[in-house]
Structure 1
Amino acid sequence: MSDIGTFKRDEAGPGLGSGQGEAGFGDFVQLLKPRVMSLVVFTGLVGLLVAPVRLHPVEAFAAILFIALGAGASGALNMWWDADIDRVMRRTQSRPVPSGRIQPGEALGLGLALSGISVVMLALAANLLAAALLAFTIFFYAVVYTMWLKRWTPQNIVIGGAAGAFPPMIGWVAATGHVGLEAVLMFALIFMWTPPHFWSLALFINSDYHKANVPMLTVTHGRRATRNHILAYTLLLAPVPVWAALTSIGGPLTLAVTLALNAVFILGAWRIWRRDEAMAEADGYRVEKRFFTFSLFYLFLHFAAYLAELALRPWGLGGWAAVG
């Protein structure tokens, strides 16, 4: 792994600037990583809605819009910098920059423009603290994770996971103007969830990371160590949503959902841990793929439960006051 971090910004290489097709509107949308953006919007919206302060609907819409633009800015900057890696990895070769449909300078310009717009407008629509958190999130993802951690350390996903964990905290701060315990726990839920989620993916696409010399844990320490880490982080994750379920954003429904999801998630991590590579290869990494897919539901259903608890409160059914 001695050549990790020595990638050159070969912007004139194959697939870049070679005129391989014109960029359409969909290419610019893809540049913003819409699937990641959808998760950011959802968790940010939940953070905003479950906060104890209610924003006017127009203010709330504006806050979420600018949080989404900030996420899109991060995605564009990530695709600009990672074009050399994306060109090598099979699952990313068709992205707009490595395929040549969008020039690197266009991706950089769009990312910087959206960064400035999103931060300034969130400050005007909500408050300075929310805008500062958004600015830090963009910087952390684009610079700390993309330019440094991803290429230098197998802890890239562990530390870099903070970037994806900030949206519910930003939503909470946009509504309240301060960081509360509930916001910290929502952040911690995503932060601790990220390593087992991505490491399970790395187990069955490891060849891509090898080709691109990305120091994912599967590359630097092997799949056995990765399986150990998945189980360890899953066990460390489990208490976080339980604690969140016992706060003002939770209630009996949330606690029940959390306990059920934790049971399935821990069981899945244990099944991954007890397998060796011969078993995994024999069935095409079926258990690992199922765990990865369920991890998406794990996160979504937790945040959906917070919303459901909020929706039940007008009828006296949501929150711990309902059983008090």
Structure 2
Amino acid sequence: MSLVSESDLGQRSDFGLAASDASPSDYVALLKPRVMSLSIFTAFAGMLMAPHPVHPVIGAIALLAIAVGAGASGALNMWYDSDIDRLMARTANRPIPAGRMARGEALAFGLVLSAFAVLTLGLAANWLAGGLLAFTIFYYVVVYTMWLKRSTPQNIVIGGAAGALPPMVGYAAAAGSLDLSSLLLFTLIFVWTPPHFWSLALVKAGDYGRAGVPMAPNVWGPDATRLQILLYSLLLAPIGALPWVLGYAGPVYGAVACLGGIGMILGGWAVFSRREGDLARKTAMRNFGFSILYLFTLFAVLVVERLTTIWLGA
């Protein structure tokens, strides 16, 4: 059953083909540019982990296809979630709930981009990469958006696999196969997602409550969510160091991973121990921000190390 009535959805929430007020910036917003940029960056890191450098043209086309695929996922997510997006302050101004675009436009846009991305990656690189990209889009849209998000507080845990797949897609595009290094990058992002997102969910619990989305703080309660953030942070720290321990990354990565892992544990402990008032909210948001810095720095160091190795070996 829909969370809002048909009349509440507005004139542009149907599947009609009425004239659109959407601007180019609205179509860009559908792509979720920040999520897209993370997908490109982590896919590039996965590509560099391959045993042999990919041809620059093939690599550029592959990254473009992965970017378009990530954007297609975002558009389809906004198409399906437009009913709950209008109930949350942080999403109410998205193109569909704000009334600037019909749902059907976003659906068509997302489907066309999905087909383009998968076919381009398959033809330019290989069909393992194309198939993995198709599965990533399917998992994010169908498994996470349509099913998990509205049915279980484990939505972020299980659904996090979609955001963790780009390094494997990038590796497959370069190597035509998969190996342990790509799985390590997948695992790193997969385990990083819960403490990252739940830190934000603690602050935005009211939004999710109004929309009826069963996020962890609304179902388990804030204290249980804080404990989960700490436990996942304790698990994340050694996983982050594994690429160095197993010889897939250099000593600089190892040092950054160890220091960043300690930072994640300390941040998780701070969130767990500060439970009341503005201090608790500020601590959760600091942990959310630090988690972004942690993941970005790890992948940035990995990229620099791999590029340096490739250039020195050329």
Could you say which TM-score interval applies, normalised by the shorter chain? Answer: over 0.9
- 1:8, distance to aligned residue in structure 2 (A): 5.7
Q: Deviations over 1:41-64 (max 9, x none)?
A: 111111112321212111100000
Q: How does 1:1-324 map to 2 (within 5 A)?
A: 6-7=1-2, 13-17=8-12, 22-276=21-275, 278=276, 281-283=277-279, 285-313=281-309
Quick check: 2:53–2:310 contact (8 Å CA) kept in 1? Answer: no
Quick check: 2:10–2:99 contact (8 Å CA) kept in 1? Answer: yes
- Give the TM-score of the pair, scaled to structure 2: 0.94
Quick check: 2:49–2:182 contact (8 Å CA) kept in 1? Answer: no
Runs of 4+ in 1 over 2 A off after TM superposition: 6-16, 18-21, 246-249, 311-317
Seq. identity, %: 52
Report the residue type matching 2:53 in the other structure: R
C-alpha separation in 2, matches of 1:269 and 1:8 = 34
C-alpha separation in 2, matches of 1:313 and 1:88 = 49
Report the residue type matching 2:96 in the other structure: V
User: More deviation in 19-28 or 221-230?
Assistant: 19-28
Quick check: 2:47–2:167 contact (8 Å CA) kept in 1? Answer: yes
Q: Secondary structure at the match of 2:53?
A: coil
- 1:22, distance to aligned residue in structure 2 (A): 1.5
C-alpha separation in 2, matches of 1:16 and 1:248 = 57
C-alpha separation in 2, matches of 1:137 and 1:248 = 28
Structure 1 residues 274, 26: closer, same or farther in 2, change over 3 A? same
- 1:315, distance to aligned residue in structure 2 (A): 7.9
C-alpha separation in 2, matches of 1:197 and 1:287 = 12
Structure 1 residues 287, 20: closer, same or farther in 2, change over 3 A? farther
C-alpha separation in 2, matches of 1:15 and 1:109 = 19
Report the residue type matching 1:17 in the other structure: R
C-alpha separation in 2, matches of 1:35 and 1:194 = 15
C-alpha separation in 2, matches of 1:20 and 1:222 = 44
C-alpha separation in 1, matches of 2:246 and 2:124 = 28
Quick check: 1:21–1:100 contact (8 Å CA) kept in 2? Answer: no
- 1:307, distance to aligned residue in structure 2 (A): 1.2
Structure 1 residues 271, 21: closer, same or farther in 2, change over 3 A? same
Q: Deviations over 1:19-53 (max 9, x none)?
A: 99811100000011111001011111111123212
Structure 1 residues 10, 136: closer, same or farther in 2, change over 3 A? farther
Quick check: 2:271–2:280 contact (8 Å CA) kept in 1? Answer: no
Q: Which runs of 5+ in 2 are unaligned?
A: none
Identify the residue that residue 3 of structure 1 maps to in structure 2: none
- 1:10, distance to aligned residue in structure 2 (A): 5.7
Structure 1 residues 9, 113: closer, same or farther in 2, change over 3 A? farther
Q: Secondary structure at the match of 1:92?
A: coil
C-alpha separation in 2, matches of 1:10 and 1:65 = 39
Structure 1 residues 121, 314: closer, same or farther in 2, change over 3 A? closer
Structure 1 residues 9, 128: closer, same or farther in 2, change over 3 A? farther
Q: Which runs of 5+ in 1 are unaligned?
A: 1-5, 318-324
* Count of paired positions: 309
Quick check: 2:274–2:280 contact (8 Å CA) kept in 1? Answer: no
- 1:316, distance to aligned residue in structure 2 (A): 6.8
C-alpha separation in 1, matches of 2:3 and 2:106 = 17
Quick check: 1:249–1:306 contact (8 Å CA) kept in 2? Answer: no
Q: Deviations over 1:99-140 (max 9, x none)?
A: 111110000001111111111111001101101100000000
Quick check: 1:249–1:310 contact (8 Å CA) kept in 2? Answer: no
- 1:91, distance to aligned residue in structure 2 (A): 0.4
Over the aligned positions, Cα root-mean-square deviation in angstroms equals: 1.9
Quick check: 1:79–1:97 contact (8 Å CA) kept in 2? Answer: yes
C-alpha separation in 2, matches of 1:244 and 1:315 = 21
